Structure 1
Amino acid sequence: MMALLGAQLVITLVMVSIIQKVGPHFSLGRWLLCSTGLFRYLYPTDEELRSLAGVPKDKGKGKKGGKHVENGKKDDSFHIPRNLDIQLETAKVTALDIIHLRYYSEYQWLVDFSFYSTLVYITTEVYQYFIPLKDEINLSMLWCFLVLCFSLKLLLTLTVQYFRGEESVGERSTVIVTGFAYLLLSMMILIVDENNLELGLDKAYKSFNESAAAFLDTQGLDSKGPASKLVIKFFLALWCGLLGAVFTFPGLRMARMQWDSLKYCGESFLWKLLLNISFASPFVLVLLWVKPVSRDYLTARVFTGMTGPIMSEHAFESLRLIAVVGAVILRLSLMPIYLQSYLNMAYHRLEEQKKEAGRITNVELQKKIAAVFYYLCVVTLQYIAPLLMCLYFTFMFKTLGGYSWDGLFVEAPSAQECPADTPITPVTQILGEGESIKQSAQQFTLALDNLKQVFTTEVYKGLFGFATWWSCFVWFATTSMGMVYQSYFSHV
């Protein structure tokens, strides 16, 4: 079957079969929420509140003496003191609890599909390491691209919710202001000299323009290039502003969970160290693209007592890839701690309420506590979707950019495969003017091969290298902004 279909198609078909057979019985997304020790706080019942507040239970006195009845339902609300001493009970999060939560199906699909996509990518990488692909489309890139699309779509869906409610004026303004701020910031970054910030966009544009001009020339079209650099960078800036807008509230939420997690861990030095490393890791990733700080320091400078630099260029490229993957894995492994810190908000809300004067209805109190668990899947999506985008941008950057994972241990290969200056063969040199199906298929295949040569390795290096760096930058910037916000209001 491999000889007929090809190894990659076999891997894809096997994984699709696994999804169909195993998916209904095992879910990584469900396991992360139900089998990692998470517990939720239960809101007190009406009977418990009546007993603590000393509110007598109303007795029906017929139609005239009873409470107001609307649509056949009796209004059971009553007032209790805000400073009432209430002790919340806890319960383990189970599958029956989360299956009815909002966005649970979207969360489960994203996590499970990402897990299977990672298996496809790892299997393809192992196969490609021993048997390099020749004139084949890497199907694992399609899986990675779908994960990126699903993650961005869900983040956009969550962000759009702030524009639909009439009570979300503050959140809506925050998203708009942050989006324009990142748009302006990206415009400033895109004009930085690449000797300082090595995004690779200049080389990518040059390679794309030359290859596209050659492709258009073979098709009989006279052109010096499809688009100007200014136009391309403008659309890149728009994409950066959009990504910054959808990362806004995930970053702020992450900052709140980071702040609460440090208190939740108590005196454990190890957990606090891991949490602080997790928080600072995106900043380290951003610095790896700043050439004077990272590349020049590690690959060009020769320290006293050494005969050469610390590492080679090939090893440095692998270091950046491994660093991004390591940071994502660390944050995913700490996800139960962050989610538990979010669930603890129900307890902290009640403790803050005890310091207030006045009265509150039982319904409002129960909603305040229940809402925390109700939005658990929304918070989990805000936590995990940016991580998946950073991870899969890195996967595509590595594969399409022609890098390797073993650069820290193996020397770079001497010969380059698929050089960027490969001449594009005109279609008319091979095909005749016949109208047969065979000739049409040959013509389409050759045109597709010529079009593939337009998107060279340098183009992929620039696009996905910039996407990886920007996602890490926004990941860190929004979280840092949230931490500053939390620090300020905690001292007010």
Structure 2
Amino acid sequence: MVFLGPQLVITLVMVSLIQKLGPHYSFARWLLCSTGLFRYLYPTNDELRALAGVPKETGKSKSKRSTKHLENGKTAETFHVPRNLDIQLETAPITYLDVIHLKYYTEYSYLLDFALYSGIVYIATELSSLVFHMKGEMNMSIFWCLVVVGFATKLLLSLTTEYFKSEESVGERSTVVVMGFAYLLVAMMVLIVDEERLEVGLDTAYRSFNASACAFLELQGLNSTGPASKIVLKFFMALWCAMIGALFTFPGLRMAKMHWDCLKYCRENFLLRLLLNVSFASPFVAVLLWVRPVARDYLTARVFSGMTEPLMSERVFDSLRVCFVVATVLSRLAAMPVYLQAYLNIAYHRVEQQKKEAGRITNVELQKKIAAVFYYLCVVMLQYIAPLLICLYLTLTYKTLGGYSWLGAPSNVTALDGEPVLSRLADTTDNDSLLHTAEHFTLTLDSLKQIFTTEVLRGFYGFTTWWTCFALFASTSLGMVYQSYFSHA
């Protein structure tokens, strides 16, 4: 295996760029501060007093009130105003000084910037593979992609565990647990579907892995029918799917709420509504591309009248499936500023809704109600981009390790064939010299590597990619049903 090659050079150059340019240029910061986003400013105490006609306290009463607040750990001046107060909120563009102190801003910035660098590394690796012959060289762009997937999953897990730490988040905890078990049931149902209906490739991957592993174990003098049964492997896959579904629950609800608001804001802009709806429904189409009777048999096997051959070949269909998932994720990332502004507008609607209520509210509660929308912005950003990045970089990994190409041409990545190595390994078992022992050790490592063939990796990442698209579609669809129900209630 070659380590000193073009891919290592690309990795080293990118690491150097991260060190030099990272502190000065940030795509995450640009997305928040340079795309026209604006936030709503809460009214000051003086403005509320002037609108409500509340006189300013002076003298002994003010001193007692300030002392009382100091004893409770608060120094803010508190007074009551009517809920139906005619408040006109001012707006201000979001700047770097506004967002740098927000919770989870550092994690959001690291995730999005590193995802961008990883994407550049992947594109450079794909382009260099067209120029240089990389047979036997380690594809280091895969490690960059897997780091992005791991980092995004870890952040989603951190956001989800926040619901289990707070005593006030009983409903959120129950929702996560219920949806986790629901996705577990759905995953177990999906895993028993025949490969002729849903071509996730797990059965083929298991047969290939089991055959290679059995051959390796026999050469080591171990009699085994396989390292694990199919039922056990599918059960652990179902647990993994349940965790992904649980992590995608609240991001899907958040995405549905923002999409619902966006459709209300752009009622007169037909083109924007069409683009938003197409972007929202595209994960469902991506899920259908793995259903063989609907997609592959229809496009690659059926010959329509007036034609002599199907619409596309098997390789072109595989490339179409990968490209469609990538285009789906990129379209949602491109629409991110529209969705984020729809979220920031929640502050305005909260005030408008409050004007229809009776009673009184304290100035502190009113200001918190408006400011909390902006303070929660980076959490919303993570809930929006983390599932998309997981789906995108799993698809890129699936494309590379599965041996696919972008244009449907034969890929230069071929399935690993473990038979020659295993036979050579058997020939070295009768030699006791130091040289043959070293050769035997090297061939053993090669045979371990060849257990995970292209079919095995294609099946695992193919199913994981499909399930991520399914969870993305299912969570947002449930959110839209939720929004529709409460809007008509």
- Please indicate the TM-score interval, normalised by the length of the shorter structure: over 0.9
Alpha carbons 2:416, 2:450 under 8 Å: kept? no
Which structure 2 residues correspond to residues 372-451 of structure 1 after superposition, within 5 A?
A: 372-407=373-408, 410=409, 412=410, 418-419=416-417, 424-425=422-423, 427=425, 429-430=427-428, 433-434=432-433, 442-451=439-448
Task: Specify the alignment match of 1:464 in structure 2.
Answer: 461
Q: Which amino acid aligns with 2:463?
A: F
- Cα distance, 1:42–1:208 mapped onto 2, change above 3 Å: same
Alpha carbons 1:68, 1:75 under 8 Å: kept? no
2:177 matched to 1:176? yes
Task: Specify the alignment match of 2:195 in structure 1.
Answer: 194
- Cα distance, 1:73–1:484 mapped onto 2, change above 3 Å: closer
Task: Specify the alignment match of 1:486 in structure 2.
Answer: 483
Task: Specify the alignment match of 1:366 in structure 2.
Answer: 367
SS at match of 2:92: strand
Alpha carbons 1:424, 1:453 under 8 Å: kept? no
Task: Specify the alignment match of 1:352 in structure 2.
Answer: 353
d(CA) in 1 for partners of 2:307, 2:8: 49
Task: Specify the alignment match of 1:47 in structure 2.
Answer: 46
Alpha carbons 2:122, 2:141 under 8 Å: kept? yes
Per-residue CA deviations over 1:435-477 (Å, capped at 9, x if unaligned) read 6xx8776554332211110000100111000011000000000
Task: Specify the alignment match of 2:223 in structure 1.
Answer: 222
Which structure 2 residues correspond to residues 280-291 of structure 1 after superposition, within 5 A?
A: 280-291=281-292
d(CA) in 1 for partners of 2:420, 2:392: 31
Task: Specify the alignment match of 1:12 in structure 2.
Answer: 11
Offset, 1:60: 2.1
Alpha carbons 2:42, 2:89 under 8 Å: kept? yes
Offset, 1:67: 4.8
2:204 matched to 1:203? yes
Offset, 1:415: 11
Alpha carbons 2:403, 2:414 under 8 Å: kept? no
Name which of 437, 448, 452 aligns with 1:455. Answer: 452
d(CA) in 2 for partners of 1:482, 1:344: 19
Alpha carbons 1:207, 1:420 under 8 Å: kept? no
- Cα distance, 1:363–1:439 mapped onto 2, change above 3 Å: farther
Task: Specify the alignment match of 1:301 in structure 2.
Answer: 302
Offset, 1:249: 0.2
SS at match of 1:40: strand
Which structure 2 residues correspond to residues 230-269 of structure 1 after superposition, within 5 A?
A: 230-269=231-270
SS at match of 1:263: helix
- Cα distance, 1:62–1:198 mapped onto 2, change above 3 Å: closer
SS at match of 1:383: helix
TM-score normalized with structure 2 length? 0.95
The answer for unaligned runs of 5 or more in structure 1 is none
d(CA) in 2 for partners of 1:123, 1:47: 57
Q: Which amino acid aligns with 1:285?
A: A
SS at match of 1:80: strand
Offset, 1:131: 2.7
SS at match of 1:138: coil
Q: Give the stretch that moved more between structures: 173-182 or 443-452.
A: 443-452
Alpha carbons 2:257, 2:480 under 8 Å: kept? yes
Per-residue CA deviations over 1:69-127 (Å, capped at 9, x if unaligned) read 32486451111111100000001011111000000000000001111111111111111
Q: Give the stretch that moved more between structures: 264-273 or 414-423.
A: 414-423
Alpha carbons 1:199, 1:465 under 8 Å: kept? yes
Q: Which amino acid aligns with 1:163?
A: F
Per-residue CA deviations over 1:2-45 (Å, capped at 9, x if unaligned) read x9821111111111001000101101111111111100001110
Alpha carbons 1:390, 1:472 under 8 Å: kept? yes
d(CA) in 2 for partners of 1:243, 1:302: 39
d(CA) in 2 for partners of 1:112, 1:62: 53
- Cα distance, 1:269–1:190 mapped onto 2, change above 3 Å: same
Aligned residue pair count: 485
- Cα distance, 1:60–1:286 mapped onto 2, change above 3 Å: same
Task: Specify the alignment match of 2:470 in structure 1.
Answer: 473
Offset, 1:323: 0.1
Which structure 2 residues correspond to residues 267-282 of structure 1 after superposition, within 5 A?
A: 267-282=268-283
Which structure 2 residues correspond to residues 95-244 of structure 1 after superposition, within 5 A?
A: 95-244=96-245
Offset, 1:418: 3.9
- Cα distance, 1:323–1:413 mapped onto 2, change above 3 Å: closer
d(CA) in 2 for partners of 1:366, 1:459: 56
d(CA) in 1 for partners of 2:426, 2:394: 38
d(CA) in 2 for partners of 1:228, 1:133: 36
- Cα distance, 1:21–1:430 mapped onto 2, change above 3 Å: farther
SS at match of 2:422: coil
d(CA) in 1 for partners of 2:399, 2:105: 32
Q: Which amino acid aligns with 2:460?
A: L
d(CA) in 2 for partners of 1:414, 1:366: 60
2:55 matched to 1:56? yes
Per-residue CA deviations over 1:212-264 (Å, capped at 9, x if unaligned) read 11111222222111000000000000000000000000000000000011112
Question: Matched residues, percent identical?
Answer: 65
Q: Which amino acid aligns with 2:456?
A: V
- Cα distance, 1:195–1:101 mapped onto 2, change above 3 Å: same
Per-residue CA deviations over 1:172-206 (Å, capped at 9, x if unaligned) read 00000000000000000100011011010000000
- Cα distance, 1:416–1:9 mapped onto 2, change above 3 Å: closer
Task: Specify the alignment match of 2:26 in structure 1.
Answer: 27
SS at match of 1:309: coil
Per-residue CA deviations over 1:328-374 (Å, capped at 9, x if unaligned) read 11000000000000000000111111111111100001101100000
d(CA) in 1 for partners of 2:412, 2:135: 18
Q: Give the stretch that moved more between structures: 225-234 or 442-451.
A: 442-451
SS at match of 1:136: coil
d(CA) in 2 for partners of 1:48, 1:386: 41
Q: Which amino acid aligns with 2:488?
A: H
Per-residue CA deviations over 1:351-403 (Å, capped at 9, x if unaligned) read 11111111110000110110000010000000000000110111111100000
- Cα distance, 1:105–1:441 mapped onto 2, change above 3 Å: farther
Alpha carbons 2:403, 2:411 under 8 Å: kept? no
d(CA) in 1 for partners of 2:170, 2:327: 38
Q: CA RMSD in A?
A: 2.0
d(CA) in 2 for partners of 1:415, 1:325: 20
